[in-house]
A and B are shown apart, each in its own frame.
Chain A
Amino acid sequence: MSLLDYEVIIGLEVHCELSTKTKIYCSCPTTFGAEPNTQCCPICMAMPGTLPVLNEKVVEYAVKAGLATNCKIARNSKSDRKNYFYPDLPKAYQISQFDLPLCYDGFINIETDEGEKTIGITRIHIEEDAGKLNHDEFGRGTFVDLNRAGVPLIEVVSEPDLRSKEEAESYLRKLKSIFEYIGISDCKMQEGSLRADVNVSVRKKGSAKFGTRTEMKNMNSFRSISRAIEYEANRQIEVIENGGIIEQETLRWDDISGKTFSMRDKEEAQDYRYFPEPDLAAIKLSDEYIENIKKSLPELPESRKKRYLLDMNLTEKAAKFVTDSKYFSNLFEEASSICNNPKAVSNWIMSDIARILNEREEEPEDIRFSGKELGELVSLIDKGTISSAIAKKILEEMFENPENPSKIIEKKGWVQISDENAIKEIVNKILEANPQSIIDYKAGKDKALGFLVGQAMKETKGKANPQILNKLFLEGILGDNSVK
């Protein structure tokens, strides 16, 4: 028996913080990063006698999420109490939804190596986030910050339809992208506004019965999720191969050691004693309400991708890359409308912009220039005002100090030299200094031309028009009247 004889079954419970202005059951703000306990009120702190009132925006956003993921929307829904003792939750219960979630029976399509695959969504419900516990490294105790307590969340539960870590990542990326497009969450994983509980089990291929699953909670990076799935699946297979049995339990993934650990306080089976929340009224949604939200949904990534393929002639790869992020897609659309060269815009996004973001460890939403500036940059290249080498420098500058490309060119004196006489002078100088390159080129070494052009670019700090350079060098090498 080997790994290949097993199938890995993965299901994700994705928690996504909604970007409402206020909390789910009170009017405190939800801004990330505020001073501890400064976005709290007696409701957040579970003072006796306080009563929650549901934020209408939370219902709207959750229904949006449901419609965008092909869910059915419940006409009758309610809130329930999930009881457990943990100091991040001052009420000793979390208000969530148990048997009547707002949205159910949905699906999204993801791309896999074997083509498109449909992943079922069991349900989407609304609930409140918990506070943050800061564990003191000097052993002085635990410090409780309740700013996050009561921040609205949706929990999206998938069917156990995912079969590899790649599929799990693809699913999560798709979900993130959809939620960004419909504007219900900023989905910043590093700030914890998107995180997932990962359920993993394994079974022998061909077996119809699921194996026992383990759960890893609160994972907040694609990389950890992927590593954790791989480690946990292999661990389970090894246990089974050695004649052991998998225990259903919650595990803690440790990113540093790359291993999962059994949580210490698991002796008590989960027993949340859910019951209907008596402090909140039921939610009844009319067809009209749902229809209005449906109408307000923006164009989703799948539809945009189709449009880019058909109307703008992007390649499959480019269309996918650009639509994976709403921010890229918006940048692309705006820039393309200005320069009328969608292909070039998509190339800039896929190559240089993605590279710079990577170097800066930033996300597409951190880009500070707009599509207008990017479109202008591409236009300037197309018109021959700047070379693509200069354009790269301008782009770097746009990341630092977002400004109009023309302004940057003017400030830095980066206008392309297209004056043939001026360039000819430089070409002649370089040819004189490199007679060997002329011989090499004539002997069939095409690289020699690249070397000469490179020298000229160096000389002009990248400002010489490359087409003219090429032309003049060729004339210089091949013509007899040039090196004079």
Chain B
Amino acid sequence: MSVNKKEIVHLAKLSNLYLSEEEIEKYAKDLTEIIDFASMINSVNTDEINETIAANENFNVFRKDQVIPSMDRNLLLQNAPSQDDGMFRIPKVLN
């Protein structure tokens, strides 16, 4: 399977990445190789194997609905590049 340049541009956009023409070419080639590598698993015969819905074999790992006090706000915000009124301040976002 090959990944074309159009798909790379689309993926880059979804990932908020800005790629140069050379990078697009390179990633198209790299991603094709990665997918080809991963596709090897398709050759395994799974007829006798039950369908799994998660990679992890655990299930029902739950927590009780009991409050643990939240963290101090100053600590949480200490690495924020910009803050105001106890909130993260970020460049204006349009609706």
Contacts and interface: CB of A to CB of B under 8 A. Distances in A.
Contact of A282 (B54, B68, B71): B54
Contacts of A140: 84, 89
Contacts of A86: 93
Contacts of A265: 94
B17 to A, nearest CB: 11
Interface string B19-63: 000000000000000000000000000000000011110111111
A136 B84 CA distance: 11
Nearest to B63: A53
Contact of B66 (A21, A100, A134, A281): A21
B55 A78 contact: no
B76 interface: yes
A233 to B, nearest CB: 23
Contacts of B94: 264-265
A27 B59 contact: no
Contacts of B88: 37, 87, 143-144, 146
A36 B86 contact: yes
B73 to A, nearest CB: 5
Interface stretch (A40-48, A298-306, A367-375): A40-48
A142 B73 CA distance: 18
Categorize the interface residue count of chain A.
Answer: 35 or more
A282 B61 CA distance: 8
A143 B83 CA distance: 8
Given A21-B66, A27-B66, A56-B63, A141 B91 contact: yes
A134 B62 CA distance: 33
B57 to A, nearest CB: 8
Most B Cβ at <10 Å: residue of A42, A100, A281: A281
A20 B58 contact: no
Given A139-B92, A143-B87, A265-B94, A37 B62 contact: no
Chain A interface mostly helix, strand, loop or mixed? loop
A276 B16 contact: no
B86 A35 contact: yes
A17 to B, nearest CB: 14
Contacts of B93: 86-87, 133, 135, 142
Contact of A271 (B14, B67, B89): B14
A100 B59 CA distance: 14
Given A56-B65, A283-B60, A276 B85 contact: no
Contacts of A271: 10, 14
A268 interface: yes
B62 to A, nearest CB: 4
A246 B67 CA distance: 48
Contacts of A252: 95
A53 B70 contact: no
Most B Cβ at <10 Å: residue of A21, A59, A278, A282: A282
5 contacts: A22-B66, A27-B68, A40-B70, A268-B13, A282-B59
The 3 closest A-B pairs by CB, nearest first: A56-B62, A27-B68, A57-B65
Interface of B: 10, 13-14, 16, 53-56, 58-68, 70-71, 73, 76-77, 82, 84-95
Given A20-B65, A21-B66, 6 more contacts: A22-B66, A22-B67, A42-B76, A53-B61, A53-B62, A55-B64
